[in-house]
Amino acid sequence: MVRLPRTPLRRGPRSADPLAGISLEPETPRIETIEQDGLRWISIESPRRIERAWLEEHFDFHPLDYEDVYSRNQRPKVDEYPDYLFVVLHFPAFDKRAGRLNAAELDMFVGPDFIITIQNQPLQPLQYLFDRCRSSDELREELFTKGAGYLLYRVVDTCVDASFPMLRKVGLKLEHLEETIFDDEENRSVVRDISNAKQEIINFRKIVRPQRAALRDLERTKRYLSGELDIYFDDINDASERIWDMLENYKEVIEALEATNEAVLSHRLNDILRVLTAFSVIMLPLTLIASIMGMNVHVPGQGEIEGFWVVIGVIVVVLVAMVAWFRKRDWL
């Protein structure tokens, strides 16, 4: 057996460090903290594995609460423990990528000297309040000197009040639809606009409906919420009920707009059918006259120029008479 010579392998220069170009620096948790007068506000946005490990290392919360934080789309609720409260609330947030309202979940741990807010997706009103607390000594003193219960109230109240501008935009859309629903030029897009507004109201209702019970439970919770705070949390519940009442009104308005739009479309269809029917009725005697004059039998005036003009004259007279009669009856 003849052995072929083996082609020598070319070996490149061996790297001195096989992990060259790879960052070996430990990843740090993205956690923001404000502390004053013995009270800490810890803010975490879109927690990753490292933030979860940090929470489990520094706080001894119930494992089921950690499981709720790590999973998505938990139902709004208030769980009371001997050392802390665990609160899950949902607030509407506009998703620019999807182009619709989604529920932004806010998980909160409340203890005697801390409050932890965990956002699964950004809540701009809450982030704005946190940034103001960090930059304003006056606001920080106002919120932190009254205890964790008052700080919890301000967090929830800020997020609840952010719903009203969104609802006002929905109301403006409904007013615009009411104004344009009878406009022929705008009617082509009315159906799509009504559908979009209805979907927005449905999404809003899905977020607010389960939230109402959780806010009532929060008002009845007395741990870390002194009697002086009852009036504040009662105000939050009043705001929540106002939001629900507005959504109920908007639901009735959008249903009325749907019914009105269907009636308008039906009326326009009837107008089109009425015109087509009138046109068919007008053409019927003219077609009959033309058919008789075109038969292969002898009829008076056939073959004479005078007979042709007589037939044309009869057709014109019948046409004018029927059009005038239809207009008098408002059928045309």
pLDDT per residue as tens digits for the range 186-208: 566 788 888 888 999 999 999 99
**Mean pLDDT, rounded, of the chain:** 80
Q: What is the mean pLDDT of residues 66-83?
A: 87
Cα-flanking dihedrals φ and ψ of residue 20, to 5°?
-65, 140
Report the pLDDT value the prediction gives residue 327, as an integer from 0 to 100: 75
DSSP 71: S
Q: Are residues 214 and 301 in the same domain?
A: no
296/50 Cα distance (integer angstroms): 97
Condensed to tens digits (0 to 9), the pLDDT of residues 115-166 reads 999 998 888 999 999 999 999 889 888 889 888 889 999 999 999 999 999 9
Tokens of 6: 């083996």
Q: How many domains does the chain have?
A: 2
Among candidate residues 188, 200, 29, 35, the one with its CA nearest the CA of residue 118: 29
pTM: 0.74
Q: Are residues 244 and 306 in the same domain?
A: no
- 218 by Cβ neighbours in 10 Å (0-12 / 13-18 / 19+) ranks as buried
150/148 Cα distance (integer angstroms): 6
Cα-flanking dihedrals φ and ψ of residue 271, to 5°?
-65, -40
- Which residue bears the tokens 């033309």? 290
The pLDDT > 90 percentage for the chain reads: 29
Q: Are residues 218 and 283 in the same domain?
A: no
DSSP 318: H
Q: Are residues 252 and 274 in the same domain?
A: no
Q: What is the mean pLDDT of residues 41-66?
A: 89
Virtual torsion, Cα 208, 209, 211, 216, nearest 10 deg: 130
Instruction: Indicate whether 167 belongs to any domain.
Output: yes
DSSP 228: G
CA dist list (Å): 2 to 5, 7, 8: 10, 15, 18
**Residue 308's pLDDT band (cuts 50, 70, 90):** low
Instruction: Indicate whether 112 belongs to any domain.
Output: yes
The pLDDT > 70 percentage for the chain reads: 80
Among candidate residues 102, 87, 79, 135, the one with its CA nearest the CA of residue 236: 87
Q: Are residues 254 and 307 in the same domain?
A: no
Q: What is the mean pLDDT of residues 280-284?
A: 73
Condensed to tens digits (0 to 9), the pLDDT of residues 114-123 reads 999 999 888 8
Q: Which of 214, 238, 258 is the last residue of a domain?
A: 258
Condensed to tens digits (0 to 9), the pLDDT of residues 235-264 reads 999 999 999 999 999 999 999 988 888 887
**Residues 143/154, Cβ–Cβ less than 8 Å:** yes
What's the CATH number where 275 sits? 1.20.58
331/323 Cα distance (integer angstroms): 9
Residue 297 has pLDDT above 60, yes or no: no
Residue 6 has pLDDT above 50, yes or no: no
Q: What is the mean pLDDT of residues 73-102?
A: 86
Length of the chain (residues): 332
Tokens of 74: 């938990």
**106 alpha carbon, distance to own chain's centre:** 18
Residue 325 has pLDDT above 80, yes or no: no
258/256 Cα distance (integer angstroms): 5
Q: Are residues 68 and 210 in the same domain?
A: yes
Residue 17 has pLDDT above 50, yes or no: no
Report the pLDDT value the prediction gives residue 13, as an integer from 0 to 100: 47
Q: Which SS3 state, helix, strand or coil, does residue 115 take?
A: strand
**Segment among 155-169, 224-238, 294-308 with least mean pLDDT:** 294-308
Q: Are residues 299 and 318 in the same domain?
A: yes
Domain residues for 307? 266-328
